[in-house]
Structure 1
């Protein structure tokens, strides 16, 4: 009897060791990052930027180091703390963390405990019964499906990859939010500047109208000059309510990004639309693979797809399920835990797919095809990132040149207006010349503000294209 027990014990130990060894098997492929031949330098970078591409990129800097205007920094900080989009993205991370725990639980035995009791009070008319009829018991059960082929581990790997993807998605939201706040703030300040120019223009045209009225009343100028002066004035005054409308609507848009109700945005700083520093360091293109959240998110999806292949392969192999239970019971409280009342049983189930009509093979082919699709998507993400940086660099150089020419145009238009007014007051020119030059000046001043805004936006676009703003 003793030798039999030893034999059984040895067999159980050998079986446990065998299962532990088999549990180390993993039929899925190991993940390997797809190769991508990145260029040595970004298209659009000037010679100075290419020469300094080994330096740290502005994409590695925090947003507070890149955008140093205090009012803009305060808005970005508030947005990152209160934005609805950031809070939603953070909540999705928590949800995925819970999903990882749920999926990982499949790798471990499931243990349950329970008890039961039956009691009845029998009337004396049924005979001489000394105690009520009763029964009670307690049992402990366990179920386990050993992960021989890495099925559950691969399922957990999928969930972990999706968690990583959610983390990078949250960082992508931060990058986008910094870009949106910065761009919206620059647009708001451009509207402010255009409104300021319009009010200055209105004041100048009011003075011009008063002069024309005096000349008309004195007989030195025709009534048509006064009407032209009025048209010039009303053209400018009509723009004020439109600009005020755009300003308030832009404030509402920024408020939503901040997680607020629609309302005003405090601002007082001057020279917000200052020229962008030249020779901004951008680093090397290969750094985008590690810094851009959207590329990292695409790779996380690829890792999950790679693990799905392992899940599909594991379906071809046999699955063993082990169930065991132990319990005690009796017809009185004192006899429930008696050693004579214990019951122990175990059961194992081995299932091997034999014929599934091509289902398992189809699942494996599908998982491979989906993985190949995500490889292409990953490569497309990299190509798109390179395009974004290149476009931002090209825009930075070209908008700077455009803004410089627009400044020359404004200076020329201002002098033309000065000369036209002098000629008109001296009687050497009609008011049409003043009207034409004044209209050209006002238009060129508004266009200069737009050019300054576009140039300032290129730094925002370049920073986001390089993957900056989430650290």
Structure 2
């Protein structure tokens, strides 16, 4: 208790603000020099150290995709909810700031009193009182200051959370748009393989009818047709699912999915290296890091709010009023006023307040750990996405070579079989290899676009 009274004169003289002033702790992972360096995985001709643009999806140069993303950012239900959360957080800031304004109070009453005794039965005398009071909080301990600080930090964290939703929505729209296009490309490849195998089935049937083939060859060729035909419904289902998800992201019903994209047969493609920046740019760009840092600031301000409970709350103000018997209503003798400081101090349960200060300190330590975790996660995700994209590109290159070779082998097998220089089974095997190569190639093309979007998502693009 002595320590509290010793600090009280200081508060009155200089108006100290309780609690620590916020700054990113020097021990934070953010301050590690390795965080701000170029990425380990960007030594690749397909990537550059340039800054990722806010609207990264425009790197694909597809006006249709651009329009879908912009529509989703305007109508997506998750974003509407995030906007509502932001408005609420802003209103909380206004409420906290309102605690600094002048407070007024008006009161009045009229009382009739009947006294028992000889005057019993006479009319009761009436008296009145009216009072108007003004007060302004001095906030010497900084309760209001820290409250506004915490509310602002919470609102900024909510804004960052809204930006994170924008990132996710833009990525989801781009991913599903690409899924529709790659599904159509895969569908075309699957149907092409089926047509080749149908031709082979017709040849096997004619050879068998002319006595130069066997029913075994016909059955094997027919099975290949049915197996590859069976893959087509799954491709159609995946395309339909992507269209419906795209509609939902844009705030539309499934029946109102964008019909014009249903026939898209050119997958989004980048025409220049992906600008990935470096660790320093990533830290500034990732909304989840901004959110974690602002929550740390809010937790630090809360320590001050709790510490301020140890000190009295002082306001300056005054009141004016009139009171007296009813027959002297508003006469000059009935008026009075006073001006001066108003001290309100309910002596706190110091153990309870100290416990709340410790709780706030623990919350701040937890917020720092979350902030450090968000920085480490961001860098890890960026490095992982960079590596995955590079390997997906290498895999696609190999599968393109494999598909070309399998196509040549299939054509050669058909020619050799026509001249009786290879058995019919070799033709079927070559066509099966070609079908597998085409399926793998289509999947690899779709996977490459997915890895690109994963990279953009990890880099945190999509907000300004």
TM-score by length of 1: 0.84
Secondary structure of 2:463's counterpart equals coil
Task: From the superposition, tell whether residues 49 and 442 of structure 1 become closer, same or farther in structure 2 (CA, over 3 Å).
Answer: closer
Secondary structure of 2:361's counterpart equals helix
Per the alignment, residue 286 of structure 1 pairs with: 280
Secondary structure of 1:140's counterpart equals strand
Q: Distance in 2 between matches of 1:65 and 1:462?
A: 15
2:180/2:264 contact within 8 Å kept = no
Task: From the superposition, tell whether residues 133 and 212 of structure 1 become closer, same or farther in structure 2 (CA, over 3 Å).
Answer: farther
Match of 2:267 among 269, 272, 280: 272
Q: Give the count of matched residue pairs.
A: 439
Secondary structure of 2:32's counterpart equals coil
The Cα of 1:279 is off from its aligned counterpart by: 4.2
Task: From the superposition, tell whether residues 197 and 22 of structure 1 become closer, same or farther in structure 2 (CA, over 3 Å).
Answer: farther
Q: Distance in 2 between matches of 1:235 and 1:300?
A: 56
In the alignment, does 2:231 pair up with 1:227?
no
In the alignment, does 2:51 pair up with 1:57?
yes
Task: From the superposition, tell whether residues 335 and 257 of structure 1 become closer, same or farther in structure 2 (CA, over 3 Å).
Answer: farther
Task: From the superposition, tell whether residues 134 and 205 of structure 1 become closer, same or farther in structure 2 (CA, over 3 Å).
Answer: farther
Per the alignment, residue 71 of structure 1 pairs with: 64
1:158/1:303 contact within 8 Å kept = yes
Match of 2:444 among 444, 451, 464: 451
Match of 2:43 among 38, 41, 46: 46
Q: Distance in 2 between matches of 1:76 and 1:309?
A: 42
2:182/2:265 contact within 8 Å kept = no
The Cα of 1:149 is off from its aligned counterpart by: 0.6
In the alignment, does 2:246 pair up with 1:251?
no
Pairing 1:366-405 to 2, within 5 Å after superposition:
366-405=359-398
Worse-matched range after superposition: 88-97 or 66-75? 66-75
1:185/1:254 contact within 8 Å kept = yes
Task: From the superposition, tell whether residues 296 and 390 of structure 1 become closer, same or farther in structure 2 (CA, over 3 Å).
Answer: same
Q: Distance in 2 between matches of 1:220 and 1:197?
A: 31
In the alignment, does 2:150 pair up with 1:155?
no
The Cα of 1:451 is off from its aligned counterpart by: 1.2
Deviations 1:41-66 (A, max 9, x none): 2111116689x63xx412x4433542
Secondary structure of 1:111's counterpart equals strand
Secondary structure of 1:428's counterpart equals coil
Pairing 1:294-373 to 2, within 5 Å after superposition:
294-320=288-314, 325-328=319-322, 336-344=329-337, 348-351=342-345, 353=347, 355-356=349-350, 358-373=351-366
1:62/1:469 contact within 8 Å kept = yes
Q: Distance in 1 between matches of 2:330 and 2:420?
A: 121
In the alignment, does 2:455 pair up with 1:469?
no
In the alignment, does 2:27 pair up with 1:33?
no
Q: Distance in 1 between matches of 2:236 and 2:175?
A: 19
Worse-matched range after superposition: 323-332 or 94-103? 323-332
TM-score by length of 2: 0.85
CA RMSD of the aligned region, Å? 3.1
Q: Distance in 1 between matches of 2:348 and 2:367?
A: 31
In the alignment, does 2:89 pair up with 1:96?
yes
Task: From the superposition, tell whether residues 458 and 240 of structure 1 become closer, same or farther in structure 2 (CA, over 3 Å).
Answer: closer
Q: Distance in 2 between matches of 1:61 and 1:470?
A: 5
Q: Distance in 1 between matches of 2:210 and 2:328?
A: 126
Q: Distance in 1 between matches of 2:352 and 2:397?
A: 66
Secondary structure of 2:90's counterpart equals helix
Q: Distance in 1 between matches of 2:33 and 2:444?
A: 32
Unaligned runs of 5+ in 2: 1-8, 113-119
Q: Distance in 2 between matches of 1:79 and 1:426?
A: 59
Unaligned runs of 5+ in 1: 1-17, 120-125
The Cα of 1:462 is off from its aligned counterpart by: 2.3
Per the alignment, residue 117 of structure 2 pairs with: none
